[in-house]
Amino acid sequence: MKLKNAVALGVTLSAVVTGAAFADTIRVGVIAPFSGPFALYGTQYEQAIAAYQAKHGTSVGEHEIEFIFRDSGGINPDLSRSLAQELLIRDQVDYLAGFTFTPNALAVAPLITQSETPTVIFNAATSSINRDSEFFLRTSFTLWQVSAPIADWAYDQGIRTVITTVADYGPGIDAENGFTAAFEARGGEVIDAVRMPLSTTDFTPFLQSVRAAEPDAVFVFVPGGPTTFAYTRTYNENGLREAGIEFLGTAETEESNLQALGDAAIGLNTAYHYSAAHDSDMNREFLAAIAEMDDPAAVNWASVGAYDGVHLIYEMIEAAGSDGPAAVEHALGLEWESPRGPLVMDPESRTVIQNVYHRVVQRNEETGLLENFETGIIATVGDLGWDQ
Amino acid sequence: MGLFLNIVVDGVAYGMILFMIAVGLSVTMGLMRVVNLAHGGFAMIGGALAHVFGTQMGLGFGLTLLLALAGTIAIALPLERVIYRRVYGFGELQQVLATIGLTFLMIATVNWWLGSTLLAVAMPEILNQSVDLGFRTLPAHRIAVIGLGLSVTLGLWILIDRTRFGVRLRAAVDNRAIASAHGINTDRIYMITFGLGAGLAALGGIMGAELLPIDAYYPLRYMVLFLIVVAVGGMGSILGSFLAAIGLGLLETATRYLVPDLSTITFFALVIALLAMRPQGLLGRE
C-alpha cells in the first residue's frame, strides 16, 4: 500500500474507532467461506455462534453484540483483505473473526494493526500468523501443537523408526517439521521423509515403498476429505496394519468425513485437541445445542474453535467494550472451560494452551457411528512452533 | 525385480481405473465430437445415487448399481433432448462454456441435496478383501475394475465395429446429413449413444469411488484426469483411450515409486512431450 493511502486509511479507521466507542451495539465481522467446496466451515462457525448466543444471550453488559458474516470463498487473500476493509470502514466493526485459511488471515494483518482491531482466528493453523500482528488471537490450534505430541506418544509406545508422508504444501511441511523435531529430540529416527503431491489420487506407490522399508510407524498429514479417504483406504488395503506399521495422524479422522471413511478407519491413532466424543457435560451440551439447529453440520474442531472464539470476544467486550488494545490486554492469560477441556490464552504466542489428546477411532456400540475415542491426555501445550 | 512388479501391478490397476472413469468421455467427446466437460458430473450423479441407494437406504450392491446407472441415464436422456441437441451444433468454445455451466449446475444441485462432504459408496464385502498375489497383496476391488475395464473395452469394440448400430453411429458422426438421407434416424442414434456415455460415466464413478471418492466437487477435481486420458489416447478411439489410460497409469505409478518428490512434474512433462509430438494423440485420426 502506498504511504498516502495508508495514512488516509489510518485516519479514517481511527475516526471510526473513536466514533464507535459511544455506540451501544458492538459489531463483529466474521470472514469465512460460506460458498464453494469449503462452505461447511462457514456453516459450522455460524451454528457455533448461534449456539453460544442461545445460551449466553446477544448482549454483554450494556453492549448489544451483532455478528456480520462475509463470504471469502476459498483461499483468496485479496478478497479477504477487501472484505476486512469494508467491514472496518463501512460496517464499523470493532472485532474481526473467522479465517479458515492462513493466507486469508495474513492478508488482514496490516489492517488490524492499523485499526487496532482484535481479530480472533477460528481455524488457520500456521504458527507464524500471530507474528504479523499483535491483534491476532487464536482459539484453534497450530500444526506444531498437535504433531509434536503424537511423536511423544509414539516414542512412549516403543516406536523408534518412522517414515513421514505429508502432502507437499505449507501445512504438510509444518506438520512434518513439528513431528520430526519432537521425535528426534526423544531419540527416535525418521528414516525417510516423503512429500506427496497435493494432486495425488493413488497412494499405493508411496505406501508400498513405506511397507518395504519396514518402519515401526508412518506419520501422515494430508488434507481432509477425498485425500484422507484415499490414503486411509490404501493404508489398510496394502496390509500396512498387518505388517505392524502403526498409523500416526492428526486431523485425518475429523468428524465431518469420519463416517464416510468406514471400517477402514477403525484403530487409527491420532493426536488432536478436540473430539466430538470428548467426555464432558459441557461438550454434550454443546453438541445438543448444535443438534437443535436447522440442518445441523457435523461438529468438529472448526465448530469448537468458533465457539471458544465467541466466548473470547464476549469476554473482551465485557472488559473493554470497543477499546481494541485494552481488549487484547484483557484476553492475554485469560482462562476458561471449553467443550474440549480447559483453555488458557498464552500471553506470548496468543494461541490457546490446551490439552492434546491421544485418540483412536472406534465404533460406538450405542449409536453404531464411528468416533474418535480419547484414551488420555498426551500433553498440555501452547504453540510449540512459536519459537521455530 | 520386486519394484518392477509393483510398478506393473499398481500401474495397470490404476490405469484401468482411469480408463473406467474416462471411457464414457471418449464415447461422447471422442465419437460424438461434443466437448463434454460435464462428463464428471454424470460420474458424480451415478456415485451420489449409489450413495443414496446403497449407503442411506441399505440396498444390496447389485441393485444399487443397477438403479444408479438407470437413474443417471434417466437424467442424461432428457438433458440430451433439451440441452445437448443444441450444443452439438456449437463451435468448440461455446461447447466448453455450455457444458462447464452444466457442470456447475450439477455441483450446486448435489451440494444442496447431499452437502459438500464425502459420499461413501458401500462396496460388497467380497470386493473389500485383499487378494494375495504371492509377492504382495492387491485389493479385490482393483482386480474387479481390471476385469470390468477389459469387458467394457471388448463390449464397446463389438458394438461400434461389429454391429449395425455401430455402422449407423459411425455414419451419423461422419456425415449427419447424408446418414439421415439414407434413412438413419440420427437423432435417436445420438440420444442412445449419449445415454451410453453417461451410463459408462456413472459406472466408472461408482467402481472408481474407492480411489477417487465421490463428493459434490468431483467433476472439477478430476476433470483434468479425464481430459488427459482422452487427449493422449486420441479423439474417437476407444482403443486409444484404453492404451493411454494404462500407459498413463504405469507412468504415474513409476514416477511415484522412483522419484516421489518430482512425480507430478515428470508426469506432466512427459504428457506435454507426447502431445507436442503427436497432437492428435496416440491413435487419433487426423
Q: Please state, in angstroms and as integers, the Cα–Cα distance from residue A188 to each residue in A120, A158, A160, A191, A334, following that order.
A: 36, 10, 5, 9, 36
Residue A261 pLDDT: 85
Interval B212-234: pLDDT, tens: 899 999 999 899 888 899 889 88
What DSSP letter does each residue of B184-248 carry, written as one string? --HHHHHHHHHHHHHHHHHHHHHHTTTTS-B-TTHHHHTHHHHHHHHHHH-TT-HHHHHHHHHHH
Strand partners, B74: none
Q: Which three cell numbers stand for residue B263?
A: 512425480
Note whether residue B2 is domain-resident. no
For residue B223, give every residue at least 6 positions away whose Cβ sits within 8 Å of its Cβ, in sequence order, or none: B37, B40, B103
Q: How many domains does chain B have?
A: 1
User: B125 at the A interface (CB within 8 A)?
Assistant: no
With 0-12 / 13-18 / 19 or more C-beta atoms within 10 angstroms meaning exposed / middle / buried, residue B130 is middle
Q: Which three cell numbers stand for residue A21?
A: 466507542
User: A260 at the B interface (CB within 8 A)?
Assistant: yes
Cα B120 to the center of its chain, rounded Å: 19
For the CA atoms of A355, A45, A385, A312, the dihedral, rounded to the nearest 10 degrees, stands at -70
Name the minimum distance, in Å, from the CA of B118 to any CA of chain A: 6
Interstrand relation of A217-221 and A246-249 (parallel, antiparallel or unpaired): parallel
Q: How many CB atoms lie within 10 A of CB B223?
A: 18
Residue A15 pLDDT: 47
Interval B113-157: pLDDT, tens: 988 888 988 888 888 888 888 778 888 888 899 999 999 999 999
Contact B117 A40 (CB under 8 A): yes
Q: B212 near B19, Cβ under 8 Å? A: no
What DSSP letter does each residue of A240-294 carry, written as one string? TTTTT-EEEESSTT-HHHHHHHGGGGTT-EEEES--TT--SHHHHHHHHHHHTSS
Round to whole Å and give the CA distance between B37 and B33. Answer: 12
Name the minimum distance, in Å, from the CA of B23 to any CA of chain A: 18
pLDDT in tens, chain A (388 residues): 455 555 555 555 554 544 444 458 999 999 999 988 888 899 999 999 999 999 999 999 889 999 999 999 888 999 999 999 999 999 999 999 999 999 999 999 999 999 999 999 999 999 889 999 999 999 999 999 999 999 999 999 999 999 999 998 888 998 999 999 999 999 999 999 999 988 888 899 999 999 999 999 999 999 877 888 889 888 988 889 889 999 999 999 999 889 888 888 899 999 999 999 999 999 999 999 999 998 899 999 999 999 999 999 999 999 998 899 999 999 999 999 999 999 999 999 999 999 999 999 999 999 999 999 999 999 999 999 888 7
Note whether residue B129 is domain-resident. no
- What's domain A3-141+280-350's superfamily in CATH? Response regulator (3.40.50.2300)
Size of interface A-B (CB pairs under 8 A): 89
> A30 by DSSP, 3-state: which?
strand
Q: What is the CATH number of the domain that holds B197?
A: 1.10.3470
Contact B118 A226 (CB under 8 A): yes
Note whether residue B1 is domain-resident. no
Residue B285 pLDDT: 67
**For residue A351, what is the DSSP state?**
B
Strands (E), chain B: 130-132, 137-139
Domains A3-141+280-350 and A144-272+356-381 equal at CATH topology level: yes
Dihedrals phi, psi of B74, to nearest 5 degrees: -65, -30
Note whether residue B165 is domain-resident. yes
Average pLDDT over chain B reads 89
With 0-12 / 13-18 / 19 or more C-beta atoms within 10 angstroms meaning exposed / middle / buried, residue B182 is exposed
Contact B14 A39 (CB under 8 A): no
Residue B115 pLDDT: 84
What does the buried/exposed string (b/e) look like for A103-127 if buried means 16 or more CB atoms within 10 Å of the residue's CB? bbbbbbbbbbebbbbbbbbbbbbbb
The structure's pTM equals: 0.85
Contact A39 B116 (CB under 8 A): yes
Q: Considering only alpha carbons, which residue of chain A is nearest residue B261? A: A195
At B71, the amino acid letter reads: G
Contacts of residue A176 in chain B, CB cutoff 8 Å? Answer: none
User: B6 at the A interface (CB within 8 A)?
Assistant: yes
Q: Which three cell numbers stand for residue A213?
A: 522399508
Note whether residue B132 is domain-resident. no
Reported CATH class of domain A144-272+356-381:
alpha beta
Enclosing domain of residue B182: 7-116+142-277
Name the minimum distance, in Å, from the CA of A342 to any CA of chain B: 30
Round to whole Å and give the CA distance between A262 and A257. Answer: 9
Domain boundaries, chain A: 3-141+280-350, 144-272+356-381
User: A214 at the B interface (CB within 8 A)?
Assistant: no
**For residue B54, what is the DSSP state?**
I
User: B136 at the A interface (CB within 8 A)?
Assistant: yes
For residue B51, give every residue at least 6 positions away whose Cβ sits within 8 Å of its Cβ, in sequence order, or none: B114, B119, B120, B121, B214
Name the minimum distance, in Å, from the CA of A310 to any CA of chain B: 25
Q: B152 near B145, Cβ under 8 Å? A: no
Residue A386 pLDDT: 87
Name the minimum distance, in Å, from the CA of A91 to any CA of chain B: 30
Residue of A225, A237, A257 lying closest to B139 (CB–CB): A237
Q: Looking at chain A from residue 160 to 189, which residues have their Cβ under 8 Å from any Cβ of chain B?
A: 168
Give the helix/strand (H/E) hosting A45. helix A39-56
Interval B60-114: pLDDT, tens: 999 999 999 999 999 999 999 999 988 888 888 999 999 999 999 999 999 989 8
Q: Which three cell numbers stand for residue B138?
A: 492387491
Round to whole Å and give the CA distance between A90 and A137. Answer: 23
Residue A181 pLDDT: 95
Angle at B192 between CA B186 and CA B197, to 5 degrees: 120
Q: Which three cell numbers stand for residue B83?
A: 440441452
User: B264 at the A interface (CB within 8 A)?
Assistant: yes
